[in-house]
């Protein structure tokens, strides 16, 4: 059974795609155009009532929320492909901790930067300089803590690549490649080395080929 992944153009679904490539799980993609509101179509809302991507269908099983889907496949194919959860319950705990840090500390400011730099022109609303400044300050403080953490271990949760690292790929890619903010990564020695490592993985290079929404 091939896994269907909805919304490959967007950032959150790319987390799932990288995870599936690392786990050597076959998938096909189903395009969803958020700018045309296809995520608010009644047929889509029956599967994902909040109207967001990604969504996966795997036979009769349907699941949404990118970090939940990653955890599911990392667990289901534990011994296939790259181990993404650590080897012990304690290592998994740290993977979970850094996944939560990504969701609650890293994602809100970088999301604001992406919306106000990349999506504002596409969606035709004015970029807010105050939000831009505050978000860059907040993200800088988070990255300072990452710099400290990555001076102690090669990856966020320890000396092993994990879901916690994958979860940072799509939005950090925007920051480095599309937004003129690559100095936020490059000026931090250990963050920069970590980014060079994870963004050069073949899985991420393959997933990048699905393109961007702008």
**Which residues contact its own copies (rule: CB under 8 A)?**
49-50, 61, 63-65, 67-69, 71-72, 75-76, 89-90, 92-94, 96-97, 99-101, 103-105, 142, 145, 148-149
C-beta closer to its own copies: residue 152 or 202? 152
**Residue nearer to its own copies on the CB measure, 99 or 117:** 99
CB of 60 to its own copies, least distance (A): 10
- Residue pair 7/53 in contact by the 8 Å Cβ criterion: yes
Hey, is 62 helix, strand or coil?
strand
Q: Is residue 29 within 8 Å of 90, Cβ to Cβ?
A: no
Quote the distance between the C-alpha of residue 134 and its chain's center: 22
Structure tokens at 77: 């194919």
φ and ψ at residue 22, rounded to 5 degrees:
-60, -35
CB of 12 or CB of 176, closer to its own copies:
12
Shortest separation between residue 138's beta carbon and its own copies, angstroms: 11
Assess contact for 151 and 193: CB atoms under 8 A: no
CA distance readout (Å), 156 to 75, 167, 193: 19, 11, 12
**Long-range contacts of 39-42, Cβ-Cβ distance < 8 Å, separation of 24 or more:** 39/7
Of 88 and 133, the one with the shorter C-beta distance to its own copies is 88
Tell which residue, 146, 153, 152, 148, has the closest CA to residue 168: 146
Whose Cβ is closer to its own copies: residue 54's or residue 176's? Answer: 54
Residue 121 Cβ vs its own copies, minimum distance, rounded to whole Å: 25
Min dist. Cβ of residue 137 to its own copies (A): 15
Rank residues 18 and 56 by Cβ distance to its own copies and give the closer one.
56
Closest distance to its own copies from the beta carbon of 198 (Å): 20
CB of 209 to its own copies, least distance (A): 27
């Amino acid at each position: 059974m091939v896994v269907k992944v909805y919304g490959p153009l967007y950032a959150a679904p790319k987390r799932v795609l990288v995870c599936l490539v690392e786990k050597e799980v076959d998938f096909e993609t189903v395009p969803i155009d958020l700018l045309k509101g296809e995520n608010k179509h009644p047929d889509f809302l029956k599967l994902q009532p909040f109207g967001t991507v990604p969504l996966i269908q795997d036979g009769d099983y349907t699941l949404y929320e990118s970090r939940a889907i990653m955890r599911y496949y990392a667990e289901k194919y534990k011994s296939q492909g790259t181990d993404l959860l650590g080897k012990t319950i304690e290592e998994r705990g740290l993977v979970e901790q850094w996944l939560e840090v990504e969701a609650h500390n890293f994602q809100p400011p970088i999301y604001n930067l992406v919306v106000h730099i990349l999506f504002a022109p596409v969606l035709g609303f004015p970029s807010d300089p105050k939000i831009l400044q505050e978000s860059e300050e907040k993200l800088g403080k988070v990255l300072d803590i990452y710099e400290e953490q990555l001076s102690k271990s090669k990856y966020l949760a320890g000396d092993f690549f994990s879901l916690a690292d994958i979860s940072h790929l799509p939005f950090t890619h925007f920051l480095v490649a599309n937004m003129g903010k690559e100095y936020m990564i490059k000026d931090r020695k250990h963050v920069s080395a970590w980014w060079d490592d994870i963004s050069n993985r073949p899985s991420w290079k393959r997933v990048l080929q699905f393109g961007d929404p702008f």
